Amino acid sequence: MKYYLFWMLLLLSASTVQAQLKGIVLRQDSTRNFPLENAKIRLTHANQGVFSNKEGRFELVLPKQLPDTLVISAMGYLSDSIIVTKNDRFVSFTILLIPVSTKSEILYQLRKNSHQISKMKTLHVEEIGAGELRKAACCNLSESFETNASVDVNITDAVSGAKKIQLMGLDGVYTQIQMENIPYLRGLESSFGLQSIPGTWIESIQITKGTGNVVNGYESMAGLVNLEVKKPSEMEKFYFNTYQNRFGRSEMNINAGTKINQKWSSGILGHASSMFGNIDHNKDGFRDIPMGDNIALMNRWDFQGKKMEAQFGFNVYQDRKTGGQISFYRDNPNGYGVVMNSRHADVYAKTGFFTKKPLRSFGVVYNLKYQNVNGAFGIRDFQGEEKRAYVNAIFDDIIGTSDHKIKLGASFVGLQIRQKVQTLEQLRTEIVPGIFAEYTYTGTRLSAVLGARYDQHLTYGGQFSPRIHAKYALTQRADLRITAGKGWRVPNYMIDNISLLANSKTWIAPAEIKPEISWNAGISLVKDFTIFEKNGNISMDFYRTIFQNQLIVDRDVALDAIVFQNLANSSYSNSFQVEWSYSPLKNFDLRLAYKHLDVKAMYDGVMRQQVMIPKNRGFVNLAYRSRNKRWEFDATCTVYGSARLPLELQASGIEQHDEQSPIYPMANAQITHIYKKWNFYFGGENLANFKQANPIIDAQNPFGSSFDANRVWGPIMGWNVYAGVRFSVKQSAEAEKARARNSAKK
């Protein structure tokens, strides 16, 4: 860790101390004031500007030459101006804009990076915008991180096609995934849910490393991924997308949003895809990718009133997969087959109530979910059913000024989950009420979030979770962040490891189920720079996660068994990442990243690196957009380092210990042509055509004692090409104006 801190301090020593100007922009509406999003704050002589965020806040670097005129403007409001002098360095302004009715309005445009670390937020939040998501096919959520260095997406086995994310080297179950701050992909969805969310539904993704805010719950152990789905008042009036690749995957998406009146808007998002190619390129008798189909539908409604706002809707999908030997079909079960059927339905509602006092509000989030998963790996079957209820009530207020904010609230989680793997069966009911409090201080240079929550699990007792986050502006262009806190979860060892059914080993269940508890601490440094009058950014972060208790999967302790056991104070994760972004030319962006992962646990009395986790990873992303904005070129190359592989028992009876996977590259590229309302895109994946040789051990005897389809460390499929078309019709100009006004309340 001392080396990571050394490089951070070395980078910091090269900084020059200047100043930041902070403030908040409010809008006047009747008798109340609301934060105003997307207000433009611009220095006239310096010719530089920013936009206010959803909370109305902004930060601006002051030039050396002062005084200057600060102009604050927003569509539909009277502009304001302030003379800024040297005495205003590190000063915080509160600006109130008055609405005005006018026929002629000026729309300011500022290029916003589609990938950035938020300077406004106290936590280390990496934001992936819609522009970044369009750099790849992004057919579903699992493919939305291809141009991101922080999140890894890995194939769990060679027969089911399941994928899981990793953040800071830890399994995706330790990352809290939310859809607009509602818990998502929990329980039975954890293994196959990534492929159930179409990429065309997603507007943006926020990635938070370390423990998140206590408001979001207690399960954030490695980090938090929040998905923002397209809003009815902001999405396209009509959107159509079709996709086809060379392996036989077809996809179609249709979205439509409408502004019914000044208060109501509605949107519908539909998806249908199928994989009909019976592909076996490595000639081992097994499909390289399972066949199947997926159908998903979401309908959402928004209400925006003066004293109240509400969002509600539903989301349903069905996902079917058929893998295994190429001779196996659902209607002709011949040979070794993998069948997985998932059905999901959930309804949600979010209500917010405002008072006459600015920035005081009360909100409640509701969610009801039903999930059913049934399938089989050969003769080993799995059955699961989950019913979940979630409520989160939050009270927001300020203490004196907007520099001091508080959040108070209570949450409730009710869960009934049933899982069965052959002779192992588990039926668990969870009732978890909780309370939380959070205080946020926003100063000129220092901002901090102090939070704590207490949750009473009716089976496992109470858990107290304190968390602290702080950001300090070292200079006007360098921010230092620290974070520390506790997270915990109750493991679902069957569905969390369902892919481990793709072998002949017997499962040995844990002696008892205990909550997994971890403590996470991290530090990050983000610095903006200018080289040859071109802007760039560098970020470095280091996080350490220590498990007070972890349910580990030991694949080495026995030759013919997979052992689940609780491990107390004997496992940890260290994650270091550095990322460098620079725009050497106009409309040309370059990103380089390096990540080192040290993830270890005690195996048979020896601390060893956990399996299937590369220690090192390199990343390069190039993006160019033509001057006429009609052509976009994107290329990404990721180099994965070696990883420790689990013990292998060969047919000869010889054991192989501590075998390492080789270093390998993954190269993707895409070209997009924009013509009026049409987008035509063409791309390739795994262009280096790297494939893992023999991903299935003893594939000729799938029901034998040596069969194992879980030693997957690299790509199974070779090079791929795809093509697609997007067509969109934006909402009317009046709807766009309403969207800009309503966004200030969000």
CA–CA gap between residue 385 and residue 372 (Å, rounded): 5
Residue 652, pLDDT score: 42
Q: Are strands 92-97 and 616-625 parallel, antiparallel or unpaired?
A: unpaired
**Start-end of CATH 2.40.170.20 domains in the chain:** 115-745
Residue 91, pLDDT score: 65
**Residue 635, CA distances (Å) to 620, 632, 671, 687 in order:** 8, 10, 9, 10
Q: Which region among 251-255, 258-262, 391-395, 577-581 has the lowest average model confidence (pLDDT)? A: 258-262
Peptide bond into 67 cis (omega under 30): yes
CA–CA gap between residue 334 and residue 325 (Å, rounded): 8
CB atoms within 10 A of CB 684: 17
Joined tokens for residue 71: 């102009």
* Rounded mean pLDDT, 102-122: 60
The amino acid present at 277, given as its one-letter code, is: G
| Secondary element (H or E) of residue 386 | strand 380-399
pLDDT band at 106 (very low <50, low <70, confident <90, very high): very low
Q: Are strands 80-84 and 606-609 parallel, antiparallel or unpaired?
A: unpaired
Is the pLDDT reported for residue 295 higher than 50? yes
Q: Counting beta carbons within 10 angstroms of the beta carbon of residue 629, is it exposed (0 to 12), middle (13 to 18) or buried (19 or more)? A: exposed
Joined tokens for residue 411: 């949450």
> For 641-729, where are the E strands, in sequence order?
648-649, 655-656, 664-675, 678-685, 720-729
C-alpha closest to that of 418 among 492, 340, 513, 516: 492
Joined tokens for residue 12: 């910091």
Q: Which residues contact 134 (CB under 8 A, 6 or more apart)?
A: 632, 672, 679, 681
**Residue 78, CA distances (Å) to 124, 222, 306, 526, 737 in order:** 34, 45, 20, 35, 15
| Residue 521 contacts residue 252 (beta carbons within 8 Å) | no
Q: Counting beta carbons within 10 angstroms of the beta carbon of residue 604, is it exposed (0 to 12), middle (13 to 18) or buried (19 or more)? A: exposed
Q: What is the pLDDT of residues 501-525, one digit of tens each?
A: 999 899 999 989 999 999 999 999 9
Q: For tokens 């019976």, name the residue.
A: 278
**Average pLDDT over all residues of the chain:** 87
* Rounded mean pLDDT, 570-590: 94
Is the pLDDT reported for residue 543 higher than 90? yes
State the DSSP code for 353. Answer: E
Is the pLDDT reported for residue 726 higher than 90? yes
State the DSSP code for 63. Answer: P
| Residue 168 contacts residue 152 (beta carbons within 8 Å) | no
pLDDT band at 725 (very low <50, low <70, confident <90, very high): very high
The amino acid present at 285, given as its one-letter code, is: G
Residue 15, pLDDT score: 42
pLDDT band at 342 (very low <50, low <70, confident <90, very high): very high
The amino acid present at 445, given as its one-letter code, is: R
* Rounded mean pLDDT, 554-563: 83
Residue 360, pLDDT score: 87
* Rounded mean pLDDT, 132-156: 86
* Rounded mean pLDDT, 452-465: 96
Q: What is the pLDDT of residues 162-187, one digit of tens each?
A: 888 899 999 999 999 999 999 998 89
CA–CA gap between residue 727 and residue 144 (Å, rounded): 20
Round the CA-based radius of gyration of the chain to a whole number and report it.
26
Q: Counting beta carbons within 10 angstroms of the beta carbon of residue 152, is it exposed (0 to 12), middle (13 to 18) or buried (19 or more)? A: buried
| Residue 574 contacts residue 547 (beta carbons within 8 Å) | no
**Residue 231, CA distances (Å) to 349, 386, 409, 746 in order:** 14, 28, 26, 11
Region for 112 from its dihedrals, namely left if φ exceeds 0, alpha if ψ lies in -120 to 50, beta otherwise: beta
Is the pLDDT reported for residue 339 higher than 80? yes
**Residue 450, CA distances (Å) to 124, 485, 498 in order:** 15, 10, 38
The amino acid present at 148, given as its one-letter code, is: N
Residue 102, pLDDT score: 38
pLDDT band at 119 (very low <50, low <70, confident <90, very high): confident
Residue 656, pLDDT score: 52
Superfamily, domain 115-745: TonB-dependent receptor, beta-barrel domain (2.40.170.20)
C-alpha closest to that of 215 among 466, 455, 409: 409
**Start-end of CATH 2.60.40.10 domains in the chain:** 18-97
Secondary structure of residue 199 in the 3-state scheme: helix
pLDDT band at 743 (very low <50, low <70, confident <90, very high): very low
Q: What is the pLDDT of residues 631-645, one digit of tens each?
A: 999 999 999 999 998
Superfamily, domain 18-97: Immunoglobulins (2.60.40.10)
C-alpha closest to that of 649 among 508, 501, 499, 504: 504
**Residue 626, CA distances (Å) to 114, 587, 673, 723 in order:** 16, 7, 10, 20
Overall residue count recorded for the chain in this entry: 746
Find the angle CA(629)-CA(633)-CA(635) to the nearest 5 degrees: 155
CA–CA gap between residue 78 and residue 97 (Å, rounded): 6
Joined tokens for residue 200: 């065309």
* Rounded mean pLDDT, 55-60: 83
CA atoms within 13 A on the CB side of 482: 10
Residue 658, pLDDT score: 61
| Secondary element (H or E) of residue 395 | strand 380-399
CB atoms within 10 A of CB 204: 17
Q: For tokens 């704050």, name the residue.
A: 41
Q: Which region among 58-72, 336-350, 607-621, 725-739 has the lowest average model confidence (pLDDT)? A: 725-739
State the DSSP code for 717. Answer: S
C-alpha closest to that of 197 among 167, 159, 153: 153
pLDDT band at 22 (very low <50, low <70, confident <90, very high): confident
pLDDT band at 100 (very low <50, low <70, confident <90, very high): low
* Rounded mean pLDDT, 99-116: 53
Is the pLDDT reported for residue 19 higher than 60? no
Residue 650, pLDDT score: 46
Residue 89, pLDDT score: 62
**Residue 506, CA distances (Å) to 294, 367, 612 in order:** 31, 37, 20
pLDDT band at 678 (very low <50, low <70, confident <90, very high): very high
Q: Counting beta carbons within 10 angstroms of the beta carbon of residue 28, is it exposed (0 to 12), middle (13 to 18) or buried (19 or more)? A: middle
Q: For tokens 């100043």, name the residue.
A: 19
Q: Counting beta carbons within 10 angstroms of the beta carbon of residue 247, is it exposed (0 to 12), middle (13 to 18) or buried (19 or more)? A: middle
Q: Which residues contact 528 (CB under 8 A, 6 or more apart)?
A: 61, 477, 478, 535, 536, 537
Q: Which region among 393-402, 497-506, 703-712, 736-745 has the lowest average model confidence (pLDDT)? A: 736-745
* Rounded mean pLDDT, 349-377: 91
Residue 10, pLDDT score: 46
* Rounded mean pLDDT, 395-414: 93
CA–CA gap between residue 249 and residue 242 (Å, rounded): 11
Residue 120, pLDDT score: 78
